[in-house]
A and B are shown apart, each in its own frame.
Chain A
């Protein structure tokens, strides 16, 4: 018998405290669950496992927790939630690395639809305003190829990894009922649009909108966005670059 190759799968019991809400008009309430946490169990998988044993920590039958998920692999931005006070992607958060009891809440900057699922529609509204897409001719043969320097592509590509998870908005002190600010995600997209060979044709217009209420002037430089972005986008660097562009744009307009 080869003891060295025998894996002992240690299961520990973990207490989850989940903030629930049945619908937008109801009050939130807390419900506790005991979960068997094996090595490698993510918060998303832990939440999904409630379905097999829908009983809370008091031994009472209950309804499985509603939460958004799609790829379960950190690439779609669906499963954002606040775990032990920090905004995280549930599919990328390991239960065994969290202090107990594990507190799980929906994002506070968006309105709750049910349990941990919130309405992030206003993020897409903000993109429509500040960094919408552009007219693109259909595919055709003999399309002259674009040339983009490798250095430029390397610099820009990280900004295009934004998955619209909303973490930056959740963490930003400027995203609150007193401002029109939506969050740094609008800037991630603007950075790439402003430097791509074709979308950059519209920079003038894009920069004008960026200087309106809710845009670049509303950023107070807290830099919390960058520290919570699950894709590691260097948002403060992008914002600085946009502030310079916006200033140059103003100067051009003045001296015209």
Chain B
């Protein structure tokens, strides 16, 4: 057992890097898992700015007004306390990135220039040209590498998260991950973890199948259900960023995307670190549980390699995208059919080395499963006929709502 409590962060986009930084400041061991170099994560493509009620334009903006705009835009669906907290912290986060070297556009007197974004009643959007996501992620990539040099973060670049390992009582105790270079599957134990794997949560499917509820999977801003402290429904497992559903309600206020990731990542990393310190002394989990989890994932991989069907996963993927775009409209039956066809698709690549087909097929399988959750949520919403958070759980028969 590690001498120090340990947390695992999965994903090194804006929310994952912020979670890692927050955990480091709590003095726990931090392992950061990412498929690709942090600076290439999808956060790099975000072109909307960073909303913060700094009020340098002297319009009497405030975090309270920012929160009100956010709640209104989200259809009143987001948790008001979580939103207030984000809006209260956004100015401090903007200052943090400013000090970190993010080159925000400037006003004539040298402060951060703030513009008014659609949906906001006041000017509060800081920008770094039209590459704010890239500018912030690039600075965070630098911070993470700096901390890795000082051995405060242990990076695992080129590893794909497969599933959480859950011990007695379904509590989190580690992850199973696959090395994308040589296909090696390994388990990693830790006292807590934060899932920061991004939108549509297909990389978080492993968590979904192990009991983590989804919230509003039928909305663009849906994802893993979390409470006010970023805890998922699996004890010891937290989530932040687009992988989690928290700050946006139906849809994000333009310019709130990055603050939600940054703030959420920071809260999740801090809370997870405190949870890790608390859980560290509960005693170790039997190795048999880790071995069983590893064996399960190895079997799943072997099944993909052993499949001999004629179906082509890429063609199924294209049909799936068309289905979800409404052409023709998606139904549970059609999705189940695609799932079955996919299980008959053989991998076009059976090499153990730098195999891109296996992650593609895995991701597609999970996208289809999440689409079923999307439909279940949509049906439940229609049935309830009011705007509320719909929670979805995984079952062997598909997805069902819990309410």
**Least Cβ–Cβ distance between A159 and chain B, in angstroms:** 9
Number of A-B contacts (CB under 8 A): 161
B106/A149 in contact, CB under 8 A: yes
B146/A147 in contact, CB under 8 A: no
**Least Cβ–Cβ distance between A76 and chain B, in angstroms:** 4
Q: Give per-residue flags for B33-47: 1 if the beta carbon is below 8 A from chain A beta carbons, else 0.
A: 000110111101100
**Is A39 located at the chain interface by the 8 A CB criterion?**
no
Partner of B108 from the list A77, A127, A143, A150 (CB cut-off 8 Å) is: A150
B39/A77 in contact, CB under 8 A: yes
Within 8 A of A (CB), among B88-110: 89, 91-93, 95-96, 98-110
**Is A66 located at the chain interface by the 8 A CB criterion?**
yes
B353/A22 in contact, CB under 8 A: yes
Complex CA–CA separation, A127 to B22 (angstroms): 23
**Is A29 located at the chain interface by the 8 A CB criterion?**
no
Complex CA–CA separation, A113 to B179 (angstroms): 14
Partner of A75 from the list B44, B110, B312 (CB cut-off 8 Å) is: B44
Segment of A7-15, A192-200, A235-243 in the binding face: A192-200
Q: Given known contacts A78-B36, A153-B104, is B314 in contact with A52 (CB within 8 Å)?
A: yes
**Is B356 located at the chain interface by the 8 A CB criterion?**
yes
**Is B121 located at the chain interface by the 8 A CB criterion?**
no
A133/B145 in contact, CB under 8 A: yes
**Least Cβ–Cβ distance between B179 and chain A, in angstroms:** 13
Partner of B266 from the list A117, A127, A139, A145 (CB cut-off 8 Å) is: A139
A64/B348 in contact, CB under 8 A: yes
Complex CA–CA separation, A162 to B226 (angstroms): 35
Write the chain A residue with the least CB distance to B109: A147
**Least Cβ–Cβ distance between B264 and chain A, in angstroms:** 13
**Is A163 located at the chain interface by the 8 A CB criterion?**
yes
A127/B145 in contact, CB under 8 A: yes
Q: Given known contacts A52-B312, A132-B145, A133-B145, is B44 in contact with A149 (CB within 8 Å)?
A: no
Q: Give per-residue flags for B368-387: 1 if the beta carbon is below 8 A from chain A beta carbons, else 0.
A: 00000000000000000000
Q: What does DSSP make chain A's interface, helix, strand, loop or mixed? A: loop
Q: Given known contacts A71-B44, A113-B354, A117-B354, is B37 in contact with A146 (CB within 8 Å)?
A: no
Complex CA–CA separation, A133 to B349 (angstroms): 39
Partner of A70 from the list B21, B41, B89, B138 (CB cut-off 8 Å) is: B41
**Is A63 located at the chain interface by the 8 A CB criterion?**
yes
Complex CA–CA separation, A117 to B140 (angstroms): 25
How many residues of chain A are within 8 Å of chain B by beta carbon? 53
**Least Cβ–Cβ distance between B190 and chain A, in angstroms:** 22
Complex CA–CA separation, A78 to B332 (angstroms): 36
Complex CA–CA separation, A90 to B40 (angstroms): 15
Write the chain B residue with the least CB distance to A72: B45
How many residues of chain B are within 8 Å of chain A by beta carbon? 63
B103/A146 in contact, CB under 8 A: no
Q: Given known contacts A70-B36, A153-B106, is B101 in contact with A138 (CB within 8 Å)?
A: no
**Is B135 located at the chain interface by the 8 A CB criterion?**
yes
**Is A164 located at the chain interface by the 8 A CB criterion?**
yes
**Is B75 located at the chain interface by the 8 A CB criterion?**
no
Contact residues in B for A22 (Cβ distance below 8 Å): 351, 353
**Is B142 located at the chain interface by the 8 A CB criterion?**
yes
Within 8 A of B (CB), among A9-26: 22-23
Write the chain A residue with the least CB distance to B137: A76
Contact residues in A for B325 (Cβ distance below 8 Å): none
Q: Give per-residue flags for A135-163: 1 if the beta carbon is below 8 A from chain B beta carbons, else 0.
A: 11111110101111110010011001111
Complex CA–CA separation, A117 to B143 (angstroms): 26
Within 8 A of A (CB), among B162-196: 181
Write the chain A residue with the least CB distance to B133: A75
Q: Given known contacts A64-B356, A150-B107, is B99 in contact with A136 (CB within 8 Å)?
A: yes
**Least Cβ–Cβ distance between A205 and chain B, in angstroms:** 14
B318/A148 in contact, CB under 8 A: no
B146/A161 in contact, CB under 8 A: no
Q: Given known contacts A76-B45, A136-B96, A139-B96, is B354 in contact with A66 (CB within 8 Å)?
A: yes
**Is B315 located at the chain interface by the 8 A CB criterion?**
yes
**Is A206 located at the chain interface by the 8 A CB criterion?**
no
Q: Give per-residue flags for B229-259: 1 if the beta carbon is below 8 A from chain A beta carbons, else 0.
A: 0000000000000000000000000000000
Q: Given known contacts A70-B41, A128-B149, A133-B139, is B134 in contact with A163 (CB within 8 Å)?
A: yes
A76/B40 in contact, CB under 8 A: yes
Complex CA–CA separation, A75 to B138 (angstroms): 11
B96/A143 in contact, CB under 8 A: yes
B45/A153 in contact, CB under 8 A: no
B-contacting residues of A (Cβ < 8 Å)?
22-23, 51-52, 54, 63-64, 66, 68, 70-71, 73, 75-78, 113-114, 117, 120, 124, 127-128, 132-141, 143, 145-150, 153, 156-157, 160-164, 192-193, 196, 198-199
A-contacting residues of B (Cβ < 8 Å)?
21-22, 25, 36-37, 39-42, 44-45, 54, 56, 89, 91-93, 95-96, 98-113, 128-129, 131, 133-135, 138-139, 142-143, 145-146, 149, 181, 266, 312-315, 318, 348-349, 351, 353-354, 356-357, 360
- Extra contacts, 10 of them, besides A66-B354, A132-B146 (Cβ < 8 A), are A54-B312, A64-B349, A64-B357, A135-B146, A138-B96, A145-B95, A145-B112, A156-B103, A163-B134, A196-B103
The 5 A-B pairs of least Cβ separation, nearest first, read A133-B142, A147-B110, A51-B314, A139-B96, A114-B354
